[in-house]
A and B are shown apart, each in its own frame.
Chain A
Amino acid sequence: MTVQDLAPVNATTLPKSSARRLSRLVDRWVWIGIASLILAFLYIPIAVLVAYSFNDSRSLSWPMSGFTLDWYRKLAENEQLIVAVQNSLYVAVSATFLTLVIGVPAALALDRLSFPGKGVFRKLVLLPIALPGIISGISMLILFRLIGFGLSLETVIIGHATALLAVVVTQVYARLQRLPKSLEEASADLGASGLQTFFMVTLPNIKTAVIGAGILSFTLSFDEIPVTFFLTGRDNTLPMYIWSTMRRGLTPEINAVGALIVAASILLIFISVQLQRKQTIPAAKSRP
C-alpha cells in the first residue's frame, strides 16, 4: 500500500489525475466512517448513562423529560451508599498497596533472578489475567472457610491483591525488560549495595510503571465484583451496593452514581496519560 495522506493538501499544487484523487477521498471517508461507527458504539451507551442521570423522570425512557439534579441530591443523602464508597476506598487503597508490595519484587524476581520453579511461579502469577474472577473467588472462599477465617472486607482485600498481582507484574516486568542491565551493573560497580541500587537506580527508572500499575489496580479493585461477591461478609463495596440496588429495579440514581464514576475515571485516565507522556509512548510512535 502507498503511504496515505490524511492531511489536507493544497489542491492547486497537485497536477494529479482526478480519478486517483477521488479514490483517495472516498477511501479516506470510508475509513473515517468505520472508525466513527465503532466510537459511536463505544460512547453512545456511556452518554446515555450520563444523560439520564439528569433526567427528571423516574422511568428510563425516550424522550427525556427535563433537567434535574435530584438524583444527585438523593445520592448525597443515601447513607448506605456513602458507607459503600468508604468501604470501596478502603479496599481499593489497601489492595493496591499490598499488590504493589508483592508485585514489584515478583516482577524483579522474574526478570533478574533464576530459581527453581520459576516457570510455575510465572504461570501462577499471570494466570488471573485470563482466569475468570469467579475461580479466584470461590477457591479463596473455600480456603477461608476451611481455615475458619470469617469473611470481611479484609478477605476481599486479600482476594483483590491476589487477582491484581498479574496486572502489576506484567506492567512492571515490561518496563524492567526495557531497562538496560548495565545500569544496575554500573551502580554495583560504583560501590552501591543491592538495596541502594534498587532505590537509587532501579526504582526511579520503573517509577512511572509502578504508579501506572497502581492507578490501574486501584480502578480495577474499586470496580471488582466476581471476587468480592464471594469473599465479602456483611459489608458492601460500591459495586456490590449498586449491584444489589440494580437487582431491585432500575433507577436514575444508579445513573447518577455512574456519571460520577465516569467523571472520576476521566480524571484517572488523564493522570495516567500524563504519566505515560513522560516516557516514550510506544503507541504514539511515528511512522514515516
Chain B
Amino acid sequence: MNLPPRIRKALVLSPPLIWVVLFMFVPYTILFVFSFWVQQYPTFAPAFQMGNYVELFRDPQYLQTLGRTIKIAALVSVFSLLLAYPYAYFLVFKVRRPGIRLALYMAVVAPLWVSYLLRAYTWKTILGTTGILNSFLISTGILTEPSPVFLYNQVAMVLTLTYVFIPFMVMPIYAALEKIPPSLLEASADLGMGRTASFVRITFPLSLTGVVAGFTMTFCLAFGDFIAAYLVGGPDGMMISNVIATQFGASLNWPLGSALALVMLMIVLTIISASDRFERLGQGKFA
C-alpha cells in the first residue's frame, strides 16, 4: 500500500487537526464571542457590546479577586522556588550515586500521581479548628483552645497550593541544573572562584531557564486553581476561577463569566509568551 505522499500526509494530519479545530479553536472562539453577549435572565442573547468588560472594571470585587489571585499565585511560585531549588541542587550536585538520585527525584514527582483533590483535602483535615494540627497543639499544651487561624485564609491557600504544585518547580530546575557540564564549575574553581561566587556567576545564571519554566508552570497552575479555595481558602481565599465558576453556576451570567475567563486567558498567555521568549534567548548556548 504505497500512497502518494500528499495523501499520506493528509491521513496523519487530519484526525488531530479536525479535533483541535473542533474542540479547541471553535470553543475558544465561541468563548471570545460570548464575552460580548448580554445576559437576559434566565438566558443570554447575542450582542456586541463591551458591557461585560466594563462591569469587570466597575465592580471592585472582580479586580480585587484578580489581584488576590495574582498575589497568591506569585507567593506560591516564590515559596515553591525557595524549597525546590535547594532540593534540585542537592540532587544534582551533592548526591553522587545515580540510583539514589533517581529515587530522590521520583520521591518529589510521585505525589503528582496521587489525586490532587485528596492532597488538598488532607490539608483541610490538618488545618481545621477541630483538625489534627489544633488537637495536636492542644495535646502538647502549646494551645489551650482550638485556633481558627490555620484554615480559611490566604496562608492556608499558599501552603496548600505550594504543597500541590512544588513538583512542577523541581522538575525543570533539576533538568536545567543537570544540563550544566561539571567542567564549567571546575573551570570556575580553576580560575580562582570560590564556591559561593561560582554559584552566583555560573550555576545560577545557567539554571535560570529552569527557574523561569518552573515559575511559569506553578504560577499558571495556582492562578487557575479553583479547588483549593473551596477546601481551605474561605471567602478571604476566593480565586478568580471561583468567581467564574459562580457565573456559570449560581449567578447564571455566562457572558460575564466568559469575559472573566478571557481576561484570565490573556494573563496566562502573556506570561507564557514572556517565558517562551526568555527561553528562546537562552537557547543555542549549549550548542
Contact = CB atoms under 8 A, between A and B. Distances in A.
Contact of B223 (A49, A132, A242): A132
A211 B184 CA distance: 37
A261 B268 contact: no
B106 A273 contact: yes
A43 B110 CA distance: 10
Interface stretch (B26-34, B47-55, B57-65): B26-34
Nearest to B162: A41
A34 B115 contact: no
B101 interface: yes
B217 interface: yes
Interface residues of B, number: 100
Given A61-B132, A193-B2, A132 B225 contact: yes
Contacts, number: 259
B96 interface: yes
Interface centre among B19, B25, B92, B244 (most CB of A within 10 A): B19
Nearest to B7: A194
Contact of A284 (B98, B126, B226, B230): B98
Contact of A246 (B94, B121, B131): B121
Contacts of B13: 105, 109, 113, 115
A19 interface: no
Interface centre among B20, B257, B265 (most CB of A within 10 A): B20
A63 B34 CA distance: 53
A130 B272 contact: yes
A269 B113 contact: yes
Interface string B188-228: 01000001001100000000000000001100110111110
Nearest to A38: B87
Interface in B232-287: 241, 244-245, 248, 254, 257-258, 261, 264-265, 268, 272
A2 interface: yes
A115 B12 CA distance: 12
Interface in A84-135: 101-103, 105-106, 108-109, 113, 115, 121, 124-125, 127, 130-135
Contacts of A213: none
B24 interface: yes
A59 to B, nearest CB: 6
B224 A162 contact: no
A158 B231 contact: no
A283 B224 CA distance: 29
Interface in A124-170: 124-125, 127, 130-136, 138-143, 146, 158, 161-162, 165
B12 A109 contact: yes
B56 interface: no
Given A113-B12, A124-B24, A134 B90 contact: no
A101 B23 contact: no
Interface SS, B side: helix
A194 B83 contact: no
Interface in B69-121: 83-84, 86-87, 90-99, 101-102, 104-108, 110-111, 113-119, 121
A229 B249 CA distance: 10
Given A45-B163, A105-B16, A286-B98, A34 B117 contact: no
Contacts of A48: 122, 125-126, 132
B89 to A, nearest CB: 9
A285 B98 contact: yes
Contact of A39 (B95, B107, B124, B163): B107
Interface residues of A, number: 92
Contacts of B107: 39, 42-43
Contact of A7 (B97, B102, B123): B97
B166 interface: yes
Contacts of B96: 3-7, 287
Contacts of B25: 124
A35 B90 contact: yes
B122 A49 contact: yes
Contacts of A281: 102
Nearest to B113: A265
Given A46-B119, A109-B13, A265-B113, A162 B23 contact: yes
B139 interface: yes
B244 A28 contact: no
Closest A-B pairs by Cβ, 4 of them: A132-B224, A106-B16, A139-B27, A61-B135
Interface of A: 1-7, 28, 31, 34-35, 38-39, 41-43, 45-46, 48-49, 52, 59-63, 101-103, 105-106, 108-109, 113, 115, 121, 124-125, 127, 130-136, 138-143, 146, 158, 161-162, 165, 193-195, 219, 222-223, 225-226, 229-230, 239, 242-243, 246-247, 250, 254-255, 257-258, 261-262, 265-266, 268-269, 273, 281-288
Interface of B: 1-3, 5, 8-9, 12-13, 15-17, 19-20, 23-28, 30-31, 34, 83-84, 86-87, 90-99, 101-102, 104-108, 110-111, 113-119, 121-126, 128, 130-132, 134-136, 139, 163, 166, 174-175, 178, 182, 185, 189, 195, 198-199, 216-217, 220-221, 223-227, 230-231, 241, 244-245, 248, 254, 257-258, 261, 264-265, 268, 272
